[in-house]
Amino acid sequence: MTTDETTGADTKGERTRRRILLAARKTFATVGYERATIRAIAAAADADKSSVIKYFGNKQQLFREAVHWDIPIDELTAVDTGITAEQQIRAMLEGWAKDPISPMSVLLRASMTSEEAAEMLREHVTANSVDAIAKHMGHLPDARLRAGVYSAMMMGLASGRYLLRFPDLAEADLEDVIRVAAPVIRTLIDPDPKQAKTRR
Protein backbone atom coordinates (compact mmCIF):
# COMPACT_ATOMS: atom_id res chain seq x y z
CA MET A 1 0.00 0.00 0.00
CA THR A 2 1.37 3.40 -0.97
CA THR A 3 1.63 6.40 1.36
CA ASP A 4 -1.22 8.12 -0.50
CA GLU A 5 -3.41 5.05 -0.13
CA THR A 6 -2.66 4.82 3.57
CA THR A 7 -3.51 8.49 4.06
CA GLY A 8 -6.74 8.03 2.11
CA ALA A 9 -7.71 5.01 4.19
CA ASP A 10 -6.95 6.86 7.42
CA THR A 11 -9.02 9.82 6.27
CA LYS A 12 -11.95 7.57 5.41
CA GLY A 13 -11.63 5.86 8.79
CA GLU A 14 -11.62 9.19 10.62
CA ARG A 15 -14.72 10.29 8.74
CA THR A 16 -16.48 7.08 9.74
CA ARG A 17 -15.35 7.53 13.34
CA ARG A 18 -16.65 11.11 13.48
CA ARG A 19 -19.95 10.02 11.94
CA ILE A 20 -20.36 7.33 14.59
CA LEU A 21 -19.58 9.81 17.38
CA LEU A 22 -22.16 12.29 16.08
CA ALA A 23 -24.78 9.54 15.75
CA ALA A 24 -23.92 8.36 19.26
CA ARG A 25 -24.43 11.83 20.75
CA LYS A 26 -27.79 12.19 19.03
CA THR A 27 -28.89 8.73 20.16
CA PHE A 28 -27.74 9.16 23.76
CA ALA A 29 -29.39 12.60 23.89
CA THR A 30 -32.67 11.18 22.57
CA VAL A 31 -33.06 7.88 24.39
CA GLY A 32 -30.50 8.07 27.20
CA TYR A 33 -27.53 5.88 27.98
CA GLU A 34 -29.37 2.79 29.17
CA ARG A 35 -31.70 2.47 26.16
CA ALA A 36 -29.14 3.31 23.50
CA THR A 37 -27.73 0.31 21.63
CA ILE A 38 -24.68 -0.11 19.44
CA ARG A 39 -26.93 -1.46 16.70
CA ALA A 40 -29.12 1.68 16.73
CA ILE A 41 -26.10 3.97 16.78
CA ALA A 42 -24.52 2.08 13.88
CA ALA A 43 -27.73 2.39 11.87
CA ALA A 44 -27.95 6.13 12.58
CA ALA A 45 -24.34 6.52 11.45
CA ASP A 46 -24.95 4.50 8.27
CA ALA A 47 -22.30 2.06 9.47
CA ASP A 48 -22.31 -1.54 10.58
CA LYS A 49 -22.07 -2.76 14.17
CA SER A 50 -18.60 -4.18 13.59
CA SER A 51 -17.31 -0.70 12.69
CA VAL A 52 -18.56 0.74 15.98
CA ILE A 53 -16.88 -2.09 17.89
CA LYS A 54 -13.69 -1.69 15.83
CA TYR A 55 -13.34 2.00 16.65
CA PHE A 56 -14.77 2.11 20.18
CA GLY A 57 -14.84 -1.40 21.63
CA ASN A 58 -18.14 -1.26 23.51
CA LYS A 59 -20.99 1.08 24.40
CA GLN A 60 -19.31 2.36 27.55
CA GLN A 61 -16.15 3.41 25.72
CA LEU A 62 -18.20 4.94 22.91
CA PHE A 63 -20.20 6.92 25.46
CA ARG A 64 -17.03 8.13 27.19
CA GLU A 65 -15.64 9.47 23.93
CA ALA A 66 -18.95 10.89 22.76
CA VAL A 67 -19.46 12.93 25.92
CA HIS A 68 -15.89 14.03 26.54
CA TRP A 69 -15.33 17.78 26.45
CA ASP A 70 -12.48 19.98 27.59
CA ILE A 71 -12.95 22.52 30.35
CA PRO A 72 -10.21 25.08 29.59
CA ILE A 73 -10.12 26.66 33.04
CA ASP A 74 -6.54 27.89 32.63
CA GLU A 75 -7.32 29.55 29.29
CA LEU A 76 -10.34 31.32 30.77
CA THR A 77 -8.55 32.54 33.90
CA ALA A 78 -7.37 36.15 33.87
CA VAL A 79 -5.59 38.37 36.38
CA ASP A 80 -8.89 40.18 36.96
CA THR A 81 -11.17 37.63 38.63
CA GLY A 82 -14.22 39.60 37.51
CA ILE A 83 -13.22 38.99 33.91
CA THR A 84 -12.46 35.36 34.75
CA ALA A 85 -15.95 34.77 36.12
CA GLU A 86 -17.59 36.34 33.07
CA GLN A 87 -15.40 34.39 30.65
CA GLN A 88 -16.07 31.06 32.32
CA ILE A 89 -19.84 31.55 32.46
CA ARG A 90 -19.96 32.77 28.87
CA ALA A 91 -17.87 29.88 27.56
CA MET A 92 -20.04 27.33 29.34
CA LEU A 93 -23.40 28.79 28.33
CA GLU A 94 -22.40 29.67 24.77
CA GLY A 95 -20.28 26.69 23.83
CA TRP A 96 -20.55 23.76 26.19
CA ALA A 97 -24.24 23.61 27.07
CA LYS A 98 -26.40 25.35 24.47
CA ASP A 99 -26.13 22.73 21.72
CA PRO A 100 -28.54 19.90 22.69
CA ILE A 101 -26.11 17.30 21.34
CA SER A 102 -22.88 18.86 22.59
CA PRO A 103 -20.84 16.44 24.74
CA MET A 104 -21.66 18.40 27.90
CA SER A 105 -25.39 18.47 27.19
CA VAL A 106 -25.52 14.77 26.37
CA LEU A 107 -23.65 13.83 29.54
CA LEU A 108 -25.85 16.09 31.69
CA ARG A 109 -28.99 14.57 30.19
CA ALA A 110 -27.77 11.01 30.54
CA SER A 111 -26.61 11.54 34.13
CA MET A 112 -30.19 12.26 35.19
CA THR A 113 -31.28 8.69 34.40
CA SER A 114 -28.09 6.62 34.52
CA GLU A 115 -25.85 6.12 37.54
CA GLU A 116 -23.02 5.11 35.24
CA ALA A 117 -23.33 8.37 33.34
CA ALA A 118 -23.61 10.29 36.63
CA GLU A 119 -20.36 8.72 37.81
CA MET A 120 -18.66 9.75 34.56
CA LEU A 121 -19.92 13.30 35.08
CA ARG A 122 -18.60 13.35 38.66
CA GLU A 123 -15.21 12.06 37.54
CA HIS A 124 -14.96 14.50 34.66
CA VAL A 125 -16.04 17.58 36.60
CA THR A 126 -13.78 16.72 39.54
CA ALA A 127 -10.72 16.13 37.37
CA ASN A 128 -11.25 18.97 34.89
CA SER A 129 -13.05 21.64 36.88
CA VAL A 130 -12.71 21.20 40.65
CA ASP A 131 -9.01 20.32 40.52
CA ALA A 132 -8.24 23.16 38.10
CA ILE A 133 -10.21 25.82 39.99
CA ALA A 134 -8.80 24.69 43.35
CA LYS A 135 -5.30 25.10 41.95
CA HIS A 136 -6.00 28.76 41.25
CA MET A 137 -7.29 29.21 44.82
CA GLY A 138 -4.41 27.39 46.49
CA HIS A 139 -3.94 30.20 49.02
CA LEU A 140 -7.35 29.51 50.55
CA PRO A 141 -7.72 26.75 53.17
CA ASP A 142 -11.16 25.78 51.80
CA ALA A 143 -10.13 25.94 48.14
CA ARG A 144 -11.53 22.52 47.21
CA LEU A 145 -14.87 23.20 48.88
CA ARG A 146 -15.12 26.49 47.03
CA ALA A 147 -14.18 24.76 43.77
CA GLY A 148 -16.86 22.15 44.40
CA VAL A 149 -19.52 24.80 45.01
CA TYR A 150 -18.32 26.66 41.90
CA SER A 151 -18.68 23.51 39.76
CA ALA A 152 -22.13 22.74 41.18
CA MET A 153 -23.30 26.27 40.45
CA MET A 154 -21.99 26.14 36.88
CA MET A 155 -23.68 22.78 36.27
CA GLY A 156 -26.85 24.19 37.81
CA LEU A 157 -26.78 27.19 35.49
CA ALA A 158 -26.32 24.96 32.46
CA SER A 159 -28.98 22.41 33.37
CA GLY A 160 -31.45 25.04 34.60
CA ARG A 161 -31.15 27.11 31.43
CA TYR A 162 -30.92 24.41 28.74
CA LEU A 163 -32.19 21.10 30.14
CA LEU A 164 -34.79 21.83 32.83
CA ARG A 165 -35.52 25.19 31.21
CA PHE A 166 -36.65 27.13 34.26
CA PRO A 167 -38.59 29.95 32.54
CA ASP A 168 -36.92 32.97 34.11
CA LEU A 169 -33.46 31.54 33.51
CA ALA A 170 -34.10 29.96 30.10
CA GLU A 171 -35.76 33.06 28.66
CA ALA A 172 -33.30 35.60 30.05
CA ASP A 173 -30.77 37.29 27.80
CA LEU A 174 -27.33 35.73 28.12
CA GLU A 175 -25.78 39.07 29.10
CA ASP A 176 -28.27 39.43 31.95
CA VAL A 177 -27.48 35.92 33.20
CA ILE A 178 -23.78 36.76 33.17
CA ARG A 179 -24.39 40.12 34.88
CA VAL A 180 -26.23 38.45 37.75
CA ALA A 181 -24.16 35.27 38.06
CA ALA A 182 -20.63 36.61 37.59
CA PRO A 183 -20.41 38.48 40.95
CA VAL A 184 -21.54 35.31 42.76
CA ILE A 185 -18.92 33.21 41.00
CA ARG A 186 -16.30 35.85 41.72
CA THR A 187 -16.98 35.73 45.47
CA LEU A 188 -16.20 32.00 45.34
CA ILE A 189 -12.93 32.24 43.44
CA ASP A 190 -11.75 35.54 44.92
CA PRO A 191 -13.39 36.13 48.32
CA ASP A 192 -12.93 39.18 50.50
CA PRO A 193 -9.97 38.30 52.77
CA LYS A 194 -12.04 39.32 55.81
CA GLN A 195 -14.75 36.84 54.87
CA ALA A 196 -12.50 33.98 53.68
CA LYS A 197 -12.40 31.02 56.02
CA THR A 198 -9.15 30.61 57.94
CA ARG A 199 -7.64 27.61 59.68
CA ARG A 200 -7.87 27.44 63.42
Please tell me the distance from the alpha carbon of residue 85 to that of residue 157, in angstroms, as a whole number: 13
Please tell me the distance from the alpha carbon of residue 130 to that of residue 127, in angstroms, as a whole number: 6
Provide the pLDDT for residue 119: 94
CB 29 within 8 A of CB 36: no
pTM: 0.77
CB 116 within 8 A of CB 130: no
Provide the pLDDT for residue 200: 37
Residue-wise pLDDT tens for the chain (200 aa)? 444 444 555 688 889 999 999 999 999 999 999 999 999 999 999 999 999 999 999 999 999 999 988 777 777 777 777 788 888 898 888 876 678 888 888 998 899 889 999 999 999 899 888 998 898 888 889 999 999 999 999 999 988 998 889 999 999 999 999 999 999 999 988 886 655 554 43
Please tell me the distance from the alpha carbon of residue 197 to that of residue 200, in angstroms, as a whole number: 9
